[in-house]
């Protein structure tokens, strides 16, 4: 179904972090940006579609104009809003937002770090762009910061802090089907496996809380009102977000899942874990009849590699890319 | 990232160090008295209350240079003397062994079982010295207290912090290559077979439910591997069967060539000469200060241990290390406050102690 394409070499290896690959397809310029986190820096590669040009850039996490040591980065993700695209980088020190090509930092938000270190780690993790002009970022305390993003310029403001989760945020996702009809448009996940379902607005509204079973949910997506969650046990669960009804449960992987992704136009689902396997599934979701169907389509094994990032490169799922711990390349697969 | 890595790092790296030293001491036909003394001295220092309490404070994981410096000092708490090249080789072995254990452990909680395996074996090494056994037990209790309440998610964060620490290290270890734990390119083997972790189901099943939670359909899919159900869980108590083998002593049979390492081609050596950040030197000073060391003049009847077989090999490594050692001494000099030229008198000045330690390297 898929075969391996030429890999893209990156300047350093990927770190063992959840969701450690972000992809932004820029059709008008016929290129795709990829970002991979290595310790305290973000490796960005822009690949032209003809496969001839690769531009590299490296971003470090630090406060602007401060010469202090950089901090470890937890995640980097592209945020696509109606009016603009931004690259958001979260670390132990704070949150940075860049123009999507990584050229200029437009915003910095520092996290409250205690004077003397506490046993509880402090960091930001979990990034999502939410309709209509919000970027949400999770924090290790469980809080979710909601930023209001103007259509251009750097006048980004912190609009709200949502305090519902009690454990560290792991990942979050906004509704990706493009449908405006979905009531819920954000799902957030934490280290206890708990999912919160929200409706965005001037004041975000909590629609539902789906309890976890004390097992971390490391990656989550929202499609056609269905929350697709990957867990540390290697399970994937599909929940109807607003009601919390469990539609499907897959014993998908033998180790901790690090990434799930959905191709919204085709309903393809991608899952990747520390067991070195990437799997492709197909979901059929009919909200009207409340029916969900999941079929397994394909496996790829990245030998001897604990995978830390996997993403479709386009909305149909024609191609996907994979990163692994200690690996200095982005491996690509396309449909045969 | 995690602020709780240091105690586990020292117990596991220290444990690996003791395994290797034990094997080398036997390979050199060292007298039992000397061997026992070396073990007791190192274990006594490593598991001392002051040192452990310092490690248990929440703090960041520091650089390899700091780790290596503290571990060298630990090794020198005994009458044994390791030359810098031997210490480098020893450090590589220790780190690659621990990296392998962290990489392969089935689930984050197994990190604790790996640590307990190390502590169990260390207890065996010093079993004839009740005071040392007590220290290990006390430390074990503190570790149980500090880590038992952590969730799997928090332990995974700890594991991810350790993996970042080990990132890009691909030193080939002859024992690992022989047992095919490691590939010729220095990367560890990861099989798609064997038991699944405790709490995980064997992959291969899709279940569909209706709105009332009843299963309406189930289907199987090919997992691409040959997994089996999880084995029984190991004990997290002070004593007990840990079940997993990661963290146990690999060097029990006397094969001198097995402490050989070699660099994989085109891999950079550990750490470009980065000046040690001030925080790191402060940590170093605190850790050194908390280590109870007996004041022995340098040329007492200590004995040297060598991890190399030929002078030529040693010479190759020494060239690389001189640069690093002088860099460290220069940096230590920058932070020193006053000069005290009285090596016999126990010094309260942490900078002086640090510099004295640098000279030993």
* Full pLDDT tens readout for chain A, 336 residues: 999 999 999 999 999 999 999 999 999 999 999 999 999 999 999 999 998 999 999 998 776 666 556 689 999 999 999 999 999 999 999 999 999 999 999 999 999 888 777 888 999 999 999 988 999 999 999 999 999 999 988 899 999 999 999 999 999 999 988 877 778 999 999 999 999 999 999 999 999 999 998 899 999 999 999 999 999 999 999 999 999 999 999 999 999 999 999 999 999 999 999 999 999 999 998 877 778 999 999 999 999 999 999 999 999 999 999 999 999 999 999 999
Residues on chain B touching A232 (C-beta within 8 angstroms): 107-108, 152-153, 156
R_g (Cα) of chain A, nearest Å: 18
In a domain, A63, yes or no: no
Yes or no, beta carbons of A167 and B151 under 8 Å apart = yes
Return the sign of the alpha-carbon dihedral for residues A31, A221, B201, B199: positive
| Minimum-distance CB partner of A305 among B190, B200, B202 | B190
Yes or no, beta carbons of A293 and B103 under 8 Å apart = no
Which pLDDT score, from 0 to 100, does residue B78 have? Answer: 75
- CA-to-CA distance for B265 and B92, rounded, in angstroms? 16
In a domain, B202, yes or no: no
Tally of residues, chain A: 336
- Asked if residue B46 has pLDDT above 70, the reply is yes
Which pLDDT score, from 0 to 100, does residue B253 have? Answer: 59
In a domain, B236, yes or no: yes
Which pLDDT score, from 0 to 100, does residue A69 have? Answer: 62
Nearest C-alpha of chain B: how many angstroms from A77?
18
In a domain, A225, yes or no: yes
Which pLDDT score, from 0 to 100, does residue B295 have? Answer: 42
Q: Does A20 touch chain B (CB under 8 A)?
A: no
Yes or no, beta carbons of A251 and B227 under 8 Å apart = no
Tally of residues, chain B: 361
In a domain, A162, yes or no: yes
In a domain, A43, yes or no: no
Tally the domains of chain B.
Answer: 1
Q: Which of B49-58, B147-156, B193-202, B323-332 has the weakest average pLDDT? A: B323-332
Residues 272-291 of B with CB under 8 A from A: 277
Q: What tokens does B156 get?
A: 């995974």
- Asked if residue B352 has pLDDT above 60, the reply is no
Q: Does A98 touch chain B (CB under 8 A)?
A: no
Nearest C-alpha of chain B: how many angstroms from A234?
7
Q: Which residues contact B350 (CB under 8 A, 6 or more apart)?
A: B285, B286, B288, B289
Q: Does A235 touch chain B (CB under 8 A)?
A: yes
Grouping H, G, I as helix, E, B as strand and the rest as coil, residue A213 is coil
What's the CATH code of the domain at A286?
Answer: 2.130.10.10
- CA-to-CA distance for B336 and B1, rounded, in angstroms? 30
Q: Which residues contact B211 (CB under 8 A, 6 or more apart)?
A: A245, A290
Nearest C-alpha of chain A: how many angstroms from B15?
24
Residues on chain A touching B153 (C-beta within 8 angstroms): 167-168, 170, 190-192, 216, 232
Residue of chain B with shortest Cα separation from A248: B208
The domain in which residue B118 lies consists of 6-194+228-360
The domain in which residue A240 lies consists of 1-13+120-333
Residues 62-101 of B with CB under 8 A from A: none
Which pLDDT score, from 0 to 100, does residue A68 have? Answer: 59
Would strands A291-301 and B261-262 be described as parallel, antiparallel, or unpaired?
unpaired
Alpha-carbon torsion angle B189, B89, B19, B181, nearest 10 = 10
Grouping H, G, I as helix, E, B as strand and the rest as coil, residue A263 is strand
| Minimum-distance CB partner of B168 among A13, A170, A245 | A13
Portion of chain A with pLDDT greater than 90, in percent: 86
Residue of chain A with shortest Cα separation from B208: A248
Grouping H, G, I as helix, E, B as strand and the rest as coil, residue A232 is coil
Residue A201's region, left for phi above 0, alpha for psi from -120 to 50, else beta, is left
Tally the domains of chain A.
Answer: 1
Nearest C-alpha of chain B: how many angstroms from A244?
10
Q: Does A225 touch chain B (CB under 8 A)?
A: no
Q: Which residues contact A233 (CB under 8 A, 6 or more apart)?
A: A215, A256, B197, B199, B200, B201
User: Confidence class of residue B278 from pLDDT cuts 50, 70 and 90?
Assistant: low
Nearest C-alpha of chain A: how many angstroms from B211?
6
Rounded to two decimals, the pTM is: 0.87
Yes or no, beta carbons of A16 and B163 under 8 Å apart = yes
Predicted confidence (pLDDT) per residue in A21-39, tens digit: 999 999 999 999 999 999 9
The more confidently predicted of residues A287 and B323 is: A287
- Provide φ and ψ at A120, rounded to 5°: -75, 125
Which pLDDT score, from 0 to 100, does residue B76 have? Answer: 81
* β-sheet bridge partners, residue A331: A322
């Amino acid at each position: 179904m898929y075969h391996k394409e030429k890999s893209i070499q990156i300047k350093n290896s990927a770190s063992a972090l959840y969701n450690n690959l972000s992809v932004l397809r820029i059709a008008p310029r016929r290129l795709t940006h990829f970002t991979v986190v290595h310790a305290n820096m973000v490796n960005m590669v822009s690949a032209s579609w003809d496969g001839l040009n690769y531009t590299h850039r490296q971003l470090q996490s630090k406060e602007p104009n401060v010469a202090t040591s950089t901090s470890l980065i937890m995640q980097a993700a592209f945020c696509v809003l109606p009016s603009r695209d931004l690259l958001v980088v979260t670390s132990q020190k704070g949150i940075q937002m860049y123009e999507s090509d990584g050229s200029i930092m437009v915003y910095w938000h520092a996290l409250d770090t205690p004077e003397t270190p506490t046993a509880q780690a402090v960091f930001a993790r979990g990034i999502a762009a939410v309709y209509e002009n919000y970027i949400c970022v999770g924090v290790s305390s469980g809080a979710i910061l909601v930023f209001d993003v103007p259509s251009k310029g750097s006048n980004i403001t912190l609009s709200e802090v949502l305090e519902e989760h009690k454990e560290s945020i792991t990942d979050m996702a906004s509704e990706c089907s493009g449908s405006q009809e979905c009531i819920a448009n954000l799902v957030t996940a934490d280290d206890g496996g708990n999912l919160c379902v929200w409706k965005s607005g001037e004041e975000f509204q909590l629609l539902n809380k789906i309890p976890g079973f004390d097992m971390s949910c490391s990656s989550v997506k929202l499609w056609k009102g269905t929350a697709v969650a990957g867990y540390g046990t290697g399970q994937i669960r599909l929940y109807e977000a607003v009601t919390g009804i469990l539609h499907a449960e897959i014993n998908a992987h033998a180790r901790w899942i690090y990434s799930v992704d959905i191709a919204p136009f085709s309903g393809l689902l991608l899952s990747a874990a520390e067991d070195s396997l990437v799997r492709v599934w197909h979901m059929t979701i009919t909200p009207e009849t409340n029916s969900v169907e999941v079929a397994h389509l394909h496996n790829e094994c990245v030998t001897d590699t604990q995978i830390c990032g996997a993403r479709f490169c386009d909305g149909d799922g024609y191609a996907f890319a994979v990163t692994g711990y200690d690996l200095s390349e982005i491996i690509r697969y396309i449909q045969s | 990232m995690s602020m709780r890595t240091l105690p586990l790092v020292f117990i596991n790296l220290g444990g690996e160090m003791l395994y290797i030293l034990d094997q080398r001491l036997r390979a050199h036909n060292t007298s039992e008295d000397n061997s026992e003394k070396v073990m007791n001295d190192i274990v006594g220092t490593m598991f001392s209350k002051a040192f452990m309490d310092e490690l248990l404070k929440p703090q960041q994981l520091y650089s390899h240079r700091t780790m290596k410096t503290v571990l060298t000092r630990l090794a020198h708490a005994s009458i044994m003397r390791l030359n810098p090249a031997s210490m480098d080789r020893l450090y590589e072995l220790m780190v690659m062994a621990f990296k392998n254990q962290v990489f392969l452990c089935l689930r984050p909680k197994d990190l604790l079982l790996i640590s307990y395996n190390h502590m169990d074996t260390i207890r065996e090494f010093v079993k004839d010295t009740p005071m040392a056994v007590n220290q290990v037990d006390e430390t074990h209790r503190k570790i149980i207290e500090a880590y038992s309440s952590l969730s799997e998610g928090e332990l995974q964060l700890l594991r991810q912090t350790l993996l970042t620490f080990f990132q890009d290290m691909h030193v080939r270890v002859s024992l690992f290559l022989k047992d095919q734990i490691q590939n010729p390119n220095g990367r560890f083997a990861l099989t798609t077979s064997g038991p699944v972790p405790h709490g995980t189901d064997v992959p291969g099943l899709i279940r569909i439910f209706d709105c009332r939670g009843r299963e309406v359909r189930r289907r199987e899919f090919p997992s691409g591997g040959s997994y089996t159900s999880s084995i029984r869980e190991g004990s997290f108590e002070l004593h007990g069967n840990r079940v997993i083998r990661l963290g146990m002593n690999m060097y029990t049979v006397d094969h001198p060539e097995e402490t050989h390492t070699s660099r994989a081609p085109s891999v950079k050596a550990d750490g470009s000469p980065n000046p040690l950040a001030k925080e790191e030197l402060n940590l170093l000073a605190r850790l050194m200060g908390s280590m109870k060391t007996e004041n022995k003049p340098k040329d007492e009847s200590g004995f040297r241990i060598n991890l190399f077989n030929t002078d030529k090999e040693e010479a190759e490594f020494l060239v690389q290390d001189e640069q690093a050692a002088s860099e460290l001494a220069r940096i230590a000099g920058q932070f020193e406050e006053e000069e005290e030229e009285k090596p016999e008198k126990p010094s309260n000045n942490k900078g002086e102690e640090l510099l004295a330690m640098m000279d030993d390297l």
